[in-house]
Amino acid sequence: MRITLVPAYGRDYKSKKDLLADFDGGKDFKIQDISCQWDGSYAGKQELVDNGYKTVNIRYKKLANVAVVTL
């Protein structure tokens, strides 16, 4: 399963490295995926792993870039 996330609480990232540091550090990201029943909710990496997600797309750099992250 794959889901799309965006940075939460007004955060944005200029680099994939910074994004991954926060994602791996457990910060929350907002689920922005209309195919997901939790669209609009917040989740961290561990919650996604616990719910069976294998891969996530995370939008960054003012939502212009996408990082594909394997959990």
Closest CA to 60 of 4, 3, 45, 26: 4
DSSP annotation of 31: E
3-state SS assignment for residue 48: helix
**pTM of this prediction exceeds 0.85:** yes
Identify the helix (H) or strand (E) that includes residue 11: none
What pLDDT, in 10s, does the model give residues 54-66? 999 999 999 999 9
State how many domains the chain has: 1
| Range of the structural domain that residue 45 is part of | 2-70
Token representation of residue 31: 């689920």
Average pLDDT over residues 33-40: 94
What's the CA gap between 14 and 36, in Å, rounded? 27
Confidence of residue 1 (pLDDT cuts 50, 70, 90): confident
